[in-house]
A and B are shown apart, each in its own frame.
Chain A
Amino acid sequence: MASVFDVTLVCLILAVGAWSTFARLTFSAIVIFIVYGLLLSLAWVRLAAVDVALTEAAIGSGVTGMLLLNAVARLRSTDAAPTPSRSSVNIAAGVFCTLITASLAGLVLVPPQVPVSLAPSVMESLGQSGLGNPVAGVLFVYRSLDTLLEKVVLVLALIAVWSLAPDGLWGGKPALRPFPQRDSVLIFLARTVPPIGIMVGIYMFWVGADEPGGAFQGGAVLAAMWILVMIAGLAAVPPTSSHALRLALIVGPVVFLAIGILGIFLTGTFLAYPEGYAKPLIIAIEATLTVSIGVTLAMHVVGPPEKEWRS
């Protein structure tokens, strides 16, 4: 029988999700969405996927929440749009959505006869790569092409965001407005929390090889700390044309690609790690990835350049 906690958690998630969808004000919708994200990471813990819970909390609701809050602050002027009207189209859409949900629920209720899983084959050959965490194994050993392509997607999305700046401001500084007053409390926070945060981020990346954690989650924490410092005004927002920023952006994918190509010369196949050296190589990849992901996520939140900057 499903435990009471699970049932309440699911009901809570659905309630908060519905509330966020139908909230009158966009600002409250987004705040509720962040709560929804945290509840979801609880659900991931219940589904015994701690890695994913960390990712959901860090990226799914953390950084995305920051992004949406920043957006709603900018859009405050156009917020008074009415809630969805009760027109016939909406009712029809509702009916179709329930039909889709019903068909999916029907599938969920009838689990496949023979449970099918790749877990045994993952565990059986995980030992060769020296990694302890199976999810990290899948990400960086078995399906490393996915991870590489996904990194390229992240970098390309950033180029796309930057491309939305007007011609004149290309290479300029993104307009993250630091907190207006020279307020002591936020600066105090920005001075004390980041060291802990950075330590937690690095710990998360480091432990990722054997325990749940990894480059993505660590990178997200680092990004959060950097944004906190920038908002408090302690650190200047780097111009998008700064050489250091761009190098930091691409150091992750470049190292990943280099090691992949190295695999061709040493073992004859792309993205294959030579015997015995798998773990150090993967750690090297993850280290640079953490830095790149951190910088990229922060730059996504900060947005396209909006101020003149002549280096």
Chain B
Amino acid sequence: MTLGEVLLVATLAVPLVTLVLALSSGSHRRTTILLVLAAIPALLTALFAESGTTVVLPQALLSLVLSLDLPGRLLLGAAALLWIATGAYAVLSRRGRENDNPFPIWWLATMTGSFGVFIVADLVGFYLFFTLVSLSAYWLVVDDGAPPAKRAGAVYVSFALLSEAFLLLAFVLLAVATRNDSFLIRDAVAAISTSPLRDPAMAFLVLGFGIKIGLVPFHVWMPLTYASASIPVAAVLSGATVKAGVIGLIRFLPFGVPLPGWGETLTALGFVSAFYGVLIGITQTNPRTILAYSSVSQMGLIAAVLGMGLATGNSITPAAAAFYAMFHILAKGGLFLAIGVAQKTRHRTEWTVLLPAAVVVLGFGGFPMTGGAIAKYAIKSPLGDGDVAMLAMVSAAASTLLMLHFLRCLRASRSHETRTTSAAEQSFIWLAIVVAVVALPWALYPAVIQASAHDALSFDALWKATWPVLIGVLLFGVLGRAPRILPMIPPGDIIVLQSWAWSGAKALGDATERIDEYLRRWSIAGSLLLVVTLALIGSFYVGR
């Protein structure tokens, strides 16, 4: 067993062991330092295990196949960093607070799922970890049991179950395409691209992962969930667990052979989400909801990148998308922590929070010299340079506008009670994340895209990066003058529309109950019995 394989297994084993330890020792009430340490092996795997190491677990463990490839490694590393940071933040903020809900258990379960999704290589394993990360996150969302959290949890779990239903169908189609002989994702994806079942499989894949990353019609759960969950949970949900959908798309879309049909639809969905997220985001005032809509927009951008890659059959799309997603993990998670830290800093020292936040925010717009710039430059090649690239530029401008709006709301929403107990350590975590957001992309760019970083510093690349930001700032200025013109839209926007769907469901339920009461009357049931007998006799005559 080489070092890589040991690390791979440890990535999952350590969190699970910690989980069992927490369960048995009864100390699962208090959040201990173990939460943070459990994520260390994942970080080490991302750093030291070389790509391509695969481990096949024995039959007793569902014969799972773990393997590490470049996109998986990037996302695993970033997710591990974020889990460590948010873990530390959670430990600090909950120190001493005797909490009833077994928070650490669900935290560790979600962490296992989140790491597992990145490194697993077989169908059943992927579905197992995907379910683990989706369903155990529900308990993190409803952790403090407040009514809005319960409602958000209910919406979250129904969408999670819906996405899993689609994925189950998709994976079965993939398995059937490979005639059930091998369950590896690689072989399944290769087989599906040529088999007649391709279109339904692609449809279910896009639907399933689309719900997970919040593409437009299915995005409603994101604002509700991120607004009502606690800060560390929201950070880790928006950062790491959403990426399960991204890695899913990266792994399951056949990038080898160009698929213009599906590619365009995915791109269209992506850009619709990108712009929709911004349009609704700027009408919000709660900084967390704004960040949620920024996630919808950014995920839409990544979907668009993947769509274009699929359409043109460009093989480096997975790496580019993973690189951008890595940036997004750290940036989005960091900003959520920023909200938490901002609420604790005193008025005088607010600049210690807002300045780094500004750096990260400009990164979203792709301002030169920020992490975001190099990330946007990386995804430039799959996007090509036609009108799609122009759309990407406009979306960069839009997200700059949204993030500046976020900054203003963050500054406005700071509560004035000055609890400074653990503020110092938490702000240290926040600053560490900011450093990572800026430095990491630049450091990893050569290794990921196999091209030197300095041509990203050429004059026209810099200019191409700055003019969208300038437009964004300009728009923000205009908007600042006339805030009244924007309508007030409740968070989760079309969830309000779905309330009539909910009443429809209730009516259906009442009707079912009346039918059941009718069917369970004795004379009706007896007659039905005879009807079934005659129907059976008739059915035997049919199709003989």
A93 to B537, Cβ gap below 8 A? Answer: no
Give chain A residues whose Cβ lies under 8 Å from the Cβ of B530. Answer: 93, 96-97, 99-100
B526 to A100, Cβ gap below 8 A? Answer: no
Tell me which residues from 86 to 139 in chain A have a Cβ below 8 Å from any Cβ of chain B. Answer: 89-90, 92-93, 96-97, 99-100, 103
Name A97's closest neighbour in chain B (CB-CB): B530
Minimum distance in angstroms from B518 CB to a CB of chain A:
10
Give chain B residues whose Cβ lies under 8 Å from the Cβ of A92. Answer: 527
Give chain A residues whose Cβ lies under 8 Å from the Cβ of B527. Answer: 89, 92-93, 96
Give chain B residues whose Cβ lies under 8 Å from the Cβ of A93. Answer: 523, 526-527, 530
In the complex, how many residues of chain B place their beta carbon closer than 8 angstroms to a beta carbon of chain A? Answer: 9
**CA gap between A89 and B525 in the complex, in Å:** 10
Give chain A residues whose Cβ lies under 8 Å from the Cβ of B531. Answer: 96
A103 to B526, Cβ gap below 8 A? Answer: no
**Quick one: which of B524, B533, B534, B537 contacts A89, CB cutoff 8 A?**
B524
B523 to A100, Cβ gap below 8 A? Answer: no
A99 to B526, Cβ gap below 8 A? Answer: no
Interface of A, helix, strand, loop or mixed by DSSP:
helix
**CA gap between A100 and B534 in the complex, in Å:** 8
A 119-163 binary contact with B (CB < 8 Å = 1; else 0): 000000000000000000000000000000000000000000000
Name B523's closest neighbour in chain A (CB-CB): A89
Of B524, B526, B527, B537, the most chain A CB neighbours within 10 A belong to: B527
**CA gap between A97 and B527 in the complex, in Å:** 9
Tell me which residues from 496 to 542 in chain B have a Cβ below 8 Å from any Cβ of chain A. Answer: 523-524, 526-527, 530-531, 533-534, 537
Give chain B residues whose Cβ lies under 8 Å from the Cβ of A90. Answer: 523
Give chain B residues whose Cβ lies under 8 Å from the Cβ of A99. Answer: 530, 534
Minimum distance in angstroms from B541 CB to a CB of chain A:
12
Minimum distance in angstroms from A85 CB to a CB of chain B:
10
Give chain B residues whose Cβ lies under 8 Å from the Cβ of A96. Answer: 527, 530-531, 534
**CA gap between A103 and B530 in the complex, in Å:** 12
Minimum distance in angstroms from A88 CB to a CB of chain B:
10
Of B530, B534, B537, the most chain A CB neighbours within 10 A belong to: B530
**CA gap between A93 and B533 in the complex, in Å:** 13
Minimum distance in angstroms from A241 CB to a CB of chain B:
37
**CA gap between A123 and B183 in the complex, in Å:** 62
**CA gap between A89 and B518 in the complex, in Å:** 12
Name A93's closest neighbour in chain B (CB-CB): B527
Name B527's closest neighbour in chain A (CB-CB): A93
**CA gap between A100 and B531 in the complex, in Å:** 10
Minimum distance in angstroms from A258 CB to a CB of chain B:
42
Give chain A residues whose Cβ lies under 8 Å from the Cβ of B534. Answer: 96, 99-100
Give chain A residues whose Cβ lies under 8 Å from the Cβ of B524. Answer: 89
**CA gap between A103 and B533 in the complex, in Å:** 11
**CA gap between A297 and B47 in the complex, in Å:** 83
Minimum distance in angstroms from A83 CB to a CB of chain B:
14
B537 to A103, Cβ gap below 8 A? Answer: yes
Minimum distance in angstroms from A285 CB to a CB of chain B:
39
Name B526's closest neighbour in chain A (CB-CB): A93
Name B534's closest neighbour in chain A (CB-CB): A99
Name B533's closest neighbour in chain A (CB-CB): A100
**CA gap between A92 and B521 in the complex, in Å:** 15
Give chain A residues whose Cβ lies under 8 Å from the Cβ of B523. Answer: 89-90, 93
Of A89, A90, A93, A99, the most chain B CB neighbours within 10 A belong to: A93
**CA gap between A103 and B527 in the complex, in Å:** 16
Minimum distance in angstroms from B533 CB to a CB of chain A:
7
Minimum distance in angstroms from B280 CB to a CB of chain A:
55
Tell me which residues from 85 to 134 in chain B have a Cβ below 8 Å from any Cβ of chain A. Answer: none
**CA gap between A200 and B526 in the complex, in Å:** 43
Tell me which residues from 229 to 278 in chain A have a Cβ below 8 Å from any Cβ of chain B. Answer: none
Give chain A residues whose Cβ lies under 8 Å from the Cβ of B533. Answer: 100
Tell me which residues from 12 to 65 in chain A have a Cβ below 8 Å from any Cβ of chain B. Answer: none
**CA gap between A97 and B531 in the complex, in Å:** 10
**CA gap between A89 and B526 in the complex, in Å:** 10
Name A92's closest neighbour in chain B (CB-CB): B527
**CA gap between A35 and B533 in the complex, in Å:** 32
**CA gap between A89 and B531 in the complex, in Å:** 12
Name A84's closest neighbour in chain B (CB-CB): B523
**CA gap between A123 and B527 in the complex, in Å:** 44
Give chain A residues whose Cβ lies under 8 Å from the Cβ of B537. Answer: 103
Minimum distance in angstroms from A103 CB to a CB of chain B:
7
Give chain B residues whose Cβ lies under 8 Å from the Cβ of A100. Answer: 530, 533-534
Minimum distance in angstroms from B517 CB to a CB of chain A:
15
Give chain B residues whose Cβ lies under 8 Å from the Cβ of A97. Answer: 530
**CA gap between A193 and B333 in the complex, in Å:** 97
Name B524's closest neighbour in chain A (CB-CB): A89
Minimum distance in angstroms from A29 CB to a CB of chain B:
18
Minimum distance in angstroms from A98 CB to a CB of chain B:
10
Minimum distance in angstroms from B532 CB to a CB of chain A:
10
**CA gap between A99 and B534 in the complex, in Å:** 8
**CA gap between A96 and B533 in the complex, in Å:** 10
Minimum distance in angstroms from A127 CB to a CB of chain B:
43
**CA gap between A96 and B527 in the complex, in Å:** 7
Minimum distance in angstroms from B196 CB to a CB of chain A:
44
**CA gap between A89 and B523 in the complex, in Å:** 7
Name B537's closest neighbour in chain A (CB-CB): A103
Name A96's closest neighbour in chain B (CB-CB): B530
**CA gap between A92 and B531 in the complex, in Å:** 10
Give chain A residues whose Cβ lies under 8 Å from the Cβ of B526. Answer: 93
**CA gap between A100 and B523 in the complex, in Å:** 17
**CA gap between A92 and B528 in the complex, in Å:** 10
**CA gap between A220 and B411 in the complex, in Å:** 95
**CA gap between A25 and B420 in the complex, in Å:** 88
**CA gap between A103 and B526 in the complex, in Å:** 18
Name A94's closest neighbour in chain B (CB-CB): B527
**CA gap between A197 and B475 in the complex, in Å:** 110
Give chain B residues whose Cβ lies under 8 Å from the Cβ of A89. Answer: 523-524, 527
Minimum distance in angstroms from B76 CB to a CB of chain A:
62
**CA gap between A190 and B11 in the complex, in Å:** 88
**CA gap between A213 and B531 in the complex, in Å:** 41
Complex A-B, nearest 6 residue pairs according to Cβ-Cβ distance, in ascending order: A96-B530, A93-B527, A89-B523, A92-B527, A99-B534, A96-B527
Residues of A within 8 A of B (CB): 89-90, 92-93, 96-97, 99-100, 103
Residues of B within 8 A of A (CB): 523-524, 526-527, 530-531, 533-534, 537
Q: List 20 A-B contacts (CB under 8 A).
A: A89-B523, A89-B524, A89-B527, A90-B523, A92-B527, A93-B523, A93-B526, A93-B527, A93-B530, A96-B527, A96-B530, A96-B531, A96-B534, A97-B530, A99-B530, A99-B534, A100-B530, A100-B533, A100-B534, A103-B537
Interface contacts beyond A93-B523, A99-B530: sample of 11 additional A-B pairs, CB < 8 Å, sorted by A: A89-B524, A90-B523, A93-B527, A93-B530, A96-B527, A96-B531, A96-B534, A97-B530, A99-B534, A100-B530, A100-B534
